[in-house]
Each structure stands twice: as C-alpha cells, then as structure tokens.
Amino acid sequence: MMNHSAKHDQEKRWAIVTGASSGIGLAFARKLSLRGHSVLAVARRRERLEALPKETGRDRGHAEPLVADLLTEQGLACVIQRIASLNNIALLINNAGIATRGNFLSAPLEGAIKASRLNIDAVVRLTHEVLRVMIPKGHGAVINVASVVAFQPSPHFAVYKAFVLSFTKAVAEEVKNTGVRVMALCPGAARTEMEMFSHNEGLLGKLRSLTVTRPPSMRPTNGVKS
Ligand SMILES: NC(=O)c1ccc[n+]([C@@H]2O[C@H](COP(=O)([O-])OP(=O)(O)OC[C@H]3O[C@@H](n4cnc5c(N)ncnc54)[C@H](OP(=O)(O)O)[C@@H]3O)[C@@H](O)[C@H]2O)c1
C-alpha cells in the first residue's frame, strides 16, 4: 500500500525555492504554499525553514524544509537527490544569492569565489537538473532571480547577476516550444536581510531610479521580468 508521503508526492505540484529562509525567497515560498503548491524550501538556517511548515500548515499549504549549503558539493547533491525523487515539479526558483560590494582587487578573493559559486554554479547545476526532468514531461518553469544590476556593469558591484540574466535568456530560447518556461526575475532594491540593502538608505534611493517604468518599445521581451 502507498504510504502517506508517496501519495502526497503523486498528487501535489512541487515548487522548489532556494533561499527560502528570508527575504524574496521566503515571500515566494509563502505565496506558493498558499496557492496550493508543495514547497521544497532550501536554505542553511534550519530553524527558519522549520517555521515555514508550521505557518503554512495552518492554511492549505505544505512546505518541506531542506537544509543545504549550496556553496558545498554535499549541499547541492542533497538538493539534486531530492529533486530526482519528486514526481511532479512545477517550478524551480533559483533565488539564493549573496551580494558583493567593493573593489575587486582589494576585497578578499574568497568573497568573489563564494559569490560566483552560489550565484552562478548553483543556478546552472539546479537549472540543468530540473530541466532534465521537466522537458520530457513537457511542462514546468524555472525562475532565476537576477537583479536590475544585471543590465549594466558597474565598478564595485560584481557582475554575477549579468551571467544569470544572459544564461537564462539563452536557455529560454533553447527550450521554447517544449512546454517549459525559463525566466529571469530582475528585482530592484528590496529591503530584505541582504546586508547591502537593508542598512543603506543611499543605495536604496539610487537603485530605485533604475526601476523607472520604460516605454513599451524599451521593455525586455524573451523571458525577462523586472
Ligand atoms: N534585496 C534586494 O534588493 C535584491 C535586489 C536584486 C536582486 N536580489 C536577489 O534576490 C535574491 C534573494 O535575496 P534577498 O534580498 O531576499 O536576500 P536575503 O534575505 O539575504 O535572502 C538570501 C537567501 O539566500 C540564502 N542563502 C545564502 N547563502 C546560501 C547558501 N550558501 N546556501 C543556501 N542558501 C543560501 C539565505 O538563507 P540561509 O542564510 O538560511 O542559508 C536566504 O534565504 C538574491 O539572489 C539577491 O541577489 C535582491
């Protein structure tokens, strides 16, 4: 006889959200769960993730915490293994990210390596993994969280999100007509736990000007939301 969790896996549409313990990822996880998705909530802070099922369980949602450090091979393998066991994946949101600021040469190299591992490598690995599952089934979507800073290189603001945006647009083109959608989300400044934005009024003020509504002729098309 089928056990409860196997039955649940068969019936539910899964949404995998990385960085679901705070900020934009937590907002996505809450909303998706309210809409009836089963959310696989990935991040490092266990207590935050474990609060989510208690919260969403009061409504009609379902959330499963998955504690994983996406900077490590072990953490990525853990998420990839769980993805392989899920029956019906509707959505992957590659949201976990860290921001870097400062002079590339004088800042510790470790920060730049970590940022490229989390903001680029993990996004590429997880996108590859879910597309291999979604494409044969002909449905599903991937949202890669980039940033408004992805549109223009600027000194002291490393350009990992520009990779995310270009990568996403390229893959979106490759998978068109498969039934699977790949999109980039490019938020402006949002007050979250991200150090750089949460304590810097000046930066928030400056970044807001980047989100000014553009005329329709200048709006991005394939796979980009800003
Ligand atoms: N806030 C903004 O203004 C803004 C603007 C443009 C783009 N973004 C992008 O939006 C995304 C979400 O950022 P946010 O503003 O919501 O920041 P946040 O509140 O700091 O959230 C970042 C999330 O990433 C997770 N994370 C960090 N390192 C991780 C790791 N090694 N392994 C697994 N998870 C990790 C964190 O969870 P744990 O610490 O529990 O692991 C947290 O859940 C990021 O990609 C960011 O670059 C933000």
Sequence-distant (6+) residues with CB within 8 A of 158 are 100, 104, 112, 115
Query: What's this model's pTM, rounded to 2 decimal places?
Result: 0.87
CA-closest candidate to residue 183, choices 196, 201, 194, 170: 170
What is the pLDDT of the chain when averaged over all its residues?
A: 85
pLDDT of 189 reads 79
The pLDDT of 189-207, averaged and rounded, is 64
Distance 70 CA to ligand 1 centre (A): 12
Distance 155 CA to ligand 1 centre (A): 21
For 4-225, CATH gives 3.40.50.720
Best probe residue, ligand 1, of 18, 24, 160 (max atoms within 8 Å of C-beta): 24
pLDDT of 75 reads 98
Taking the C-alpha atoms of residue 70 and residue 209, their distance in angstroms, rounded to an integer, is 32
Distance 96 CA to ligand 1 centre (A): 4
**Is residue 88 a contact partner of residue 13, using CB atoms and an 8 Å limit?**
yes
The binding-site residues of ligand 1, defined as CB within 6 angstroms of any ligand atom, are 18-25, 43-45, 48, 69-71, 95-99, 118, 145, 147, 187, 189-190, 192-194, 197
Residue 162 catalytic? no
The stretches of the chain forming alpha helices (DSSP H) are 4-11, 23-34, 46-57, 73-85, 109-116, 122-137, 160-174, 195-198, 201-208
Quick count: other Cβ atoms within 10 Å of Cβ 180?
A: 21
127 vs 212, more confident: 127
The pLDDT of 135-149, averaged and rounded, is 96
11 vs 86, more confident: 86
What are the residue boundaries of the structural domains of the chain, listed by start? 4-225
Q: pLDDT for 82-134, tens place per residue?
A: 999 998 999 999 999 998 878 889 999 999 999 999 999 999 999 999 999 99
Active-site residue among 28, 160, 167, 197? 160
First-residue to last-residue Cα distance in the chain: 47
pLDDT of 213 reads 43
The C-alpha torsion from 34 through 39 and 44 to 45, rounded to 10°, is 30
pLDDT of 159 reads 84
pLDDT of 11 reads 64
